[in-house]
C-alpha cells in the first residue's frame, strides 16, 4: 500500500517532541521528571489533566501532570516503574527526548466549584502526583480558597513523595498537612494506619469543603464512606480515576467506565455523578 | 445521477475496466466461504455471496496499520494511505456499519488515518441475494440502505439495476452511463427485492424495536443472562474481530531491525479479551468474564447509541457464526432480557 508521510495533516496520534530537563529518583520505584516542550510553548494544562508520554520504540502511556500551570517554563511528572513505558523513562536522563500528546481530560474544578471553598485533599501513594498540581495551584492563588487540609498516606515512610515540598505545605497559612504510613519503621514517629485513620483527626466545615481525592482503586470506597460520615456531600467530592487510557482522545475504547470515557469525561469526576456508575470503583 | 440496467456481461466488462483502472477489492469465494480480497478478474466477483467472514471495515481500519514512523528518539511522522480504491459488493448492513465508523472517526477528534482511507474509498454496494445462516439485518433496519454508498447494485432476474448516487459513483460509472435507463418494471422488481430482504433477512427475530434497547439495558445490569452466557466464554475476542462496528484498538511500537527507527502501529483490539482494561501495574478494571461480556452488549446497545445515535449492531450475524461456544447471539441475549429474571 502506498504510504505517504505528511507532517502537515493534523494527527491526533502524533506526539510533539519534548526534552527531559531533569530526572531524579525519588523512591526505589519512583522518579521525578521535569520536561519542556521543544516548541518552547507551555503545556497549557489545568490541574488534574494528563499527558500521553512516548518513548520511541517502546510505546506510549498516560501520566497525570504533577505541576501547576501557574509554575511556567516546564512541567512535572512523577512515575512509578510499573509498565514498559514508565520503565523505559526511568532509564532516560536529562537531555533525552520524549514525545508528548495532550493535555487531555477534565481537570479538577479549580476555577469554579472549588473557588472560595475550603479544600480537603486526600491522596494515597502516587495519587499525590496529580493532586500536587491542584495543591500548587491553590497555594498560588491562596486568597481564592479557604482553609486547606492535606492528607497523604503511603505504605511506608520510604514511599513518601515530594518530601521537601510537603514540609513547605505545612508552613502555608491556614493549612493542615497530615500524613500516615501503613507500616512504620524505627524512625517513624507519625501516624500509622490506612489513610482513613487520619480523617477523624481533622475538623472541617463539611458544607464549605470540597474534597479532592486520588489514590489506588481500593482507597476510594473507604475514603468516600468516611467523607459521607463527616457530612461532605457527594456533589462536593471529586475523584481522579485511573484507567487504561491508550489514545486519550475517545477512540480506542480502553478507558471506558460503563458509558463514560475516562479520557474525556474524566479522569476527574464528581463523585455524585459516579454513584450510578457501577464500574467506577473497582 | 441515473439508474440504469445492465446485463451480466456488461457488468463484467465494467468490472474488468475498474480492475484495469486501479485498486479494486471485491467479494470472492475462499474455500466454502466468502471474503473481501483484491479483485484480479471480474469472473472472481461473487455478488451472490451470503456474508463475508471479515467485514469490509478492514479497508478503512486495517487489522494492522502504521500510524506513525519514527527515527531516533523523537521526530514522529504521520503515515497516511492515500491511494484510491473501490470496494465492490458491500451488503447494506455493512454499508450501515461503515456509516457508523465514519461517525466515530470523524466525530470530535478527527482520526486522519481512518478518514484519509475513507475519503479514498468508492463503495459499490450490492443488495443481498442469499441470506446467510445467521443474518438478522431485517430486524435492525439494515436489510436495505438508501445512503452511505456511491453505487448500489441490485440483481433483478438476469440483469442488475445500477444506481449511482454520488459524484464518486459517477466517476467510476464510465460506459455504464450509456446503459438503458431502468424502466418501471425493473424498478418495481427492485422494490420487491428490498421488501423481500426486509422481510426475510431475519434468521433470528428480535422481539423489540432496536430503539428501545438503551432503555431495556438501563434496567438489566443485574440480569442473570450475563453470568449464564459468559460462563462459556473463552475470552477469545472472535466476536469483536468479525464485528463490522467493533473498532477498539491497541497501539504499540514496532522497532526496525537496525533498532534505529520503526513504526507506531495500530492493531484491532477487543473488549472481550481478558486484559482489555488492564493498566500498567496489573490492575484489571474488568477482570470478571461476565463484566466483559455485559460490557460488549451495553456498548452495542447503550453506550454507542449515546455517542453516535445508533445501535451498534447491524444484524450481520457474524458474531453468531464466529463464536465457538455459541453464546454470542445478540438477539438471544436481548430477547432474554425481556424475560422476567
Ligand atoms: S483512552 Fe482511548 S477512548 Fe479513552
Per-residue model confidence as pLDDT tens digits over A104-131: 999 999 999 999 999 999 999 999 999 9
Dihedral sign for Cα atoms in the order B36, B40, B41, B42 = positive
Q: To the nearest whole angstrom, how far is the Cα of B198 from the nearest Cα of chain A?
A: 31
- Among A63, A103, A250, say which to mutate for ligand 1: greatest number of ligand atoms within 8 Å of CB: A250
pLDDT of residue A8: 53
For residue A84, the chain B residue with the least C-alpha distance is: B280
Look at A246 and B281; give whichever has higher pLDDT.
A246
* B280 pLDDT higher than 90: no
Q: Is A151 in the pocket of ligand 1 (CB under 6 A)?
A: no
Query: In the prediction, which pLDDT does B341 show?
Result: 58
pTM beyond 0.80: the answer is: yes
**Neighboring chain B residues of A244 at a CB cutoff of 8 Å:** 276-279, 285
Q: What is the Cα–Cα distance from B256 to B260, expressed in whole angstroms?
A: 7
Cell triple for B220: 438489566
Q: Is B102 on the interface with A (CB under 8 A)?
A: no
pLDDT of amino acid B1: 59
Q: For residue A255, which atom of ligand 1 is closest to its CA?
A: 4
CATH class of the domain defined by A7-104:
mainly beta
Contact B74 A59 (CB under 8 A): no
pLDDT tens per residue across span A1-55: 445 555 456 899 999 999 999 999 998 899 999 999 999 999 999 999 999 999 9
What residue ranges do the domains of chain B occupy? Answer: 3-200, 210-336
Q: Closest Cα of chain B to A218: distance in Å?
A: 11
Average pLDDT over residues B231-257: 95
Q: Which of A4, A58, A82 sits opposite B82 (nearest CB)?
A: A4
Mutate to test the interface with A, among B67, B73, B80 (most CBs of A within 10 A): B73
Q: How confident is the model over A137-149, as a mean pLDDT?
A: 96
pLDDT (0 to 100) of residue A281: 84
pLDDT score of B231: 93
User: CA-CA distances (angstroms) from residue A50 to A67, A69, A168, B247, B265?
Assistant: 11, 12, 25, 24, 22
Residue pair A244/A265 in contact by the 8 Å Cβ criterion: no
Confidence of residue B29 (pLDDT cuts 50, 70, 90): very high
Closest residue on chain B to A244 (Cα): B279
A60 and B CB contact within 8 Å: yes
User: In which band, very low, low, confident or very high, does the pLDDT at B314 lie, cut at 50, 70 and 90?
Assistant: very high
pLDDT value for A1: 43
CB-ligand 1 contact for A250 (6 Å cutoff) = yes
How many percent of chain B have pLDDT more than 70?
Answer: 99
Q: What is the pLDDT of residues A47-101, one digit of tens each?
A: 999 999 999 999 999 999 999 999 999 999 999 999 999 999 999 999 999 999 9
Chain A residues lying within 8 Å of B285, measured CB to CB: 217, 243-244, 257, 279, 282
Place of cell 495533516: A9
Helix (H, G, I), strand (E, B) or coil at A184: coil
Which residues in chain B have their CB less than 8 angstroms from residue A11's CB?
67-68, 78, 112-113
Residue in this structure with the C-alpha cell 459488493, named with its chain if needed: B89
What local confidence, expressed as pLDDT, does residue A9 receive? Answer: 63
User: What mean pLDDT is reported for chain B?
Assistant: 94
Average pLDDT over every residue of B12-36? 96
* Beta-sheet pairing, A268-270 with A237-240: antiparallel
Span B223-248, mean pLDDT?
95
A81 touches chain B (CB under 8 A): no
> What are the grid coordinates assigned to B156, written together?
433483478
- At A137, phi and psi to the nearest 5? -60, -45
Q: List, in sequence order, every beta strand (DSSP E) within chain A.
A: 3-6, 16-25, 30-37, 50-55, 59-64, 75-80, 97-104, 118-124, 148-154, 175-181, 191-192, 209-214, 237-240, 256-257, 260-261, 268-270
A79 close to B (CB below 8 A): no
Asked if residues A122 and A223 have their Cβ atoms less than 8 Å apart, the reply is yes
Percentages helix, strand, coil for chain B (3-state, rounded to 5) are 40, 20, 40
- Give the integer Cα–Cα distance in Å for B164 and A231: 66
B149-169 pLDDT tens trace:
999 999 999 999 999 999 999
pLDDT for A2: 45
B249/A252 CB distance under 8 A = yes
Lowest mean pLDDT among A112-116, B36-40, B203-207, B275-279: B275-279
pLDDT at residue B281, rounded to an integer: 83
Provide the pLDDT for residue B108: 84
Query: How much is the pLDDT for B323?
Result: 96
User: Is B280–A99 a contact, with Cβ atoms under 8 angstroms apart?
Assistant: no
DSSP code, position B306: H
CATH number of the A118-281 domain: 3.40.50.80
| Domain map (residue ranges) of chain A | 7-104, 118-281
Given a cut of 80, whether residue B340 has pLDDT beyond it is no
- For residue A7, what pLDDT is reported? 46
Q: Taking CB atoms and an 8 Å cutoff, what residues of chain B touch A257? A: 285
Strands B121-126 and B151-156 turn out to be: parallel
Condensed to tens digits (0 to 9), the pLDDT of residues B52-93 reads 999 999 999 999 999 999 998 778 999 999 999 999 999 999
Amino acid at each position: 500500500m502506498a504510504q505517504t508521510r505528511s507532517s502537515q495533516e493534523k494527527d491526533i496520534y502524533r506526539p510533539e517532541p519534548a526534552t527531559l530537563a531533569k530526572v531524579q529518583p525519588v523512591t526505589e520505584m519512583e522518579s521525578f521528571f521535569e520536561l519542556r516542550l521543544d516548541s518552547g510553548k507551555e503545556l497549557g494544562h489545568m490541574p488534574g489533566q494528563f499527558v500521553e508520554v512516548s518513548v520511541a520504540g517502546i510505546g506510549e502511556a498516560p501520566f497525570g501532570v504533577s505541576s501547576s500551570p501557574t509554575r511556567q517554563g516546564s512541567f512535572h511528572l512523577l512515575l512509578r516503574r510499573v509498565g514498559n513505558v514508565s520503565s523505559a523513562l526511568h532509564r532516560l536522563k536529562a537531555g533525552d527526548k520524549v514525545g508528548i500528546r495532550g493535555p487531555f481530560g477534565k481537570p479538577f474544578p479549580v476555577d469554579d466549584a472549588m473557588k472560595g471553598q475550603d479544600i480537603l485533599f486526600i491522596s494515597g501513594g502516587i495519587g499525590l502526583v496529580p493532586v500536587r498540581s491542584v495543591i500548587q495551584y491553590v497555594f498560588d492563588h491562596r486568597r481564592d480558597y479557604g482553609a486547606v487540609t492535606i492528607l497523604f498516606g503511603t505504605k511506608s515512610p520510604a514511599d513518601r513523595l515530594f518530601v521537601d515540598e510537603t514540609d513547605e505545605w505545612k508552613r502555608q497559612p491556614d493549612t493542615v498537612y497530615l500524613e500516615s504510613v501503613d507500616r512504620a519503621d524505627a524512625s517513624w514517629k507519625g501516624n500509622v494506619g490506612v489513610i482513613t485513620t487520619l480523617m477523624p483527626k481533622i475538623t472541617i466545615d463539611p458544607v464549605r469543603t470540597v474534597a479532592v481525592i486520588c489514590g489506588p482503586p481500593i482507597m476510594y470506597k473507604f475514603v468516600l464512606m468516611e467523607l459521607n460520615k463527616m457530612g461532605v456531600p457527594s456533589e462536593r467530592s471529586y475523584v481522579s480515576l485511573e484507567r487504561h487510557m491508550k489514545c486519550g482522545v475517545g477512540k480506542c475504547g480502553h478507558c471506558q467506565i460503563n458509558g463514560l470515557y475516562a479520557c474525556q469525561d474524566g479522569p476527574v469526576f464528581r463523585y455524585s455523578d459516579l454513584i450510578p456508575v457501577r464500574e467506577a470503583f473497582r | 445521477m441515473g439508474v440504469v440496467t445492465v446485463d451480466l456481461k456488461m457488468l463484467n466488462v465494467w468490472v474488468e475496466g475498474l480492475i484495469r483502472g486501479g485498486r479494486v477489492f471485491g467479494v470472492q469465494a475462499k474455500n466454502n466461504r466468502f471474503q473481501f480480497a483484491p479483485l484480479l478478474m471480474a469472473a472472481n466477483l461473487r455478488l451472490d455471496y451470503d456474508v463475508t467472514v471479515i467485514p469490509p471495515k478492514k479497508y478503512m481500519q486495517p487489522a494492522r496499520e502504521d500510524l506513525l514512523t519514527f527515527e531516533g528518539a523523537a521526530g514522529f511522522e504521520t503515515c497516511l494511505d492515500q491511494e484510491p480504491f473501490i470496494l465492490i459488493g458491500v451488503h447494506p448492513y455493512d454499508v450501515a456499519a461503515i456509516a457508523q465508523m465514519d461517525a466515530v472517526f470523524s466525530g470530535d477528534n478527527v482520526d486522519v488515518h481512518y478518514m484519509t482511507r475513507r475519503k479514498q474509498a468508492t463503495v459499490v454496494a450490492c443488495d443481498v441475494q442469499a441470506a446467510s445462516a445467521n443474518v438478522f439485518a431485517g430486524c435492525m433496519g439494515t436489510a436495505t440502505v438508501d445512503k452511505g454508498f456511491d453505487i448500489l447494485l441490485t440483481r433483478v432476474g438476469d440483469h442488475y439495476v445500477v444506481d449511482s448516487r454520488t459524484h464518486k459513483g459517477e466517476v467510476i460509472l464510465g460506459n455504464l452511463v450509456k446503459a438503458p435507463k431502468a424502466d418501471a418494471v425493473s424498478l418495481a422488481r427492485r422494490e420487491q427485492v428490498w421488501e423481500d430482504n426486509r422481510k426475510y433477512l431475519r434468521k433470528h427475530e428480535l422481539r423489540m424495536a432496536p430503539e428501545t434497547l438503551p432503555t431495556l439495558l438501563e434496567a438489566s445490569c443485574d440480569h442473570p443472562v450475563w453470568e449464564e452466557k459468559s460462563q462459556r466464554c473463552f475470552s477469545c475476542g472472535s466476536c469483536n474481530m468479525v464485528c463490522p462496528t467493533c473498532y477498539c484498538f491497541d497501539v504499540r511500537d514496532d522497532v526496525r531491525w537496525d533498532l534505529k527507527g520503526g513504526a507506531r502501529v495500530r492493531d484491532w483490539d477487543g473488549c472481550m479479551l481478558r486484559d482489555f482494561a488492564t493498566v500498567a501495574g496489573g490492575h484489571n478494571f474488568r477482570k470478571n468474564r461476565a463484566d466483559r461480556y455485559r460490557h460488549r452488549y451495553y456498548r452495542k446497545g447503550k453506550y454507542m447509541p449515546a455517542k453516535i445515535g445508533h445501535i451498534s449492531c447491524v444484524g450481520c450475524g457474524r458474531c453468531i457464526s464466529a463464536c465457538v461456544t455459541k453464546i454470542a447471539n445478540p438477539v438471544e441475549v436481548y430477547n432474554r432480557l425481556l424475560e422476567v429474571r
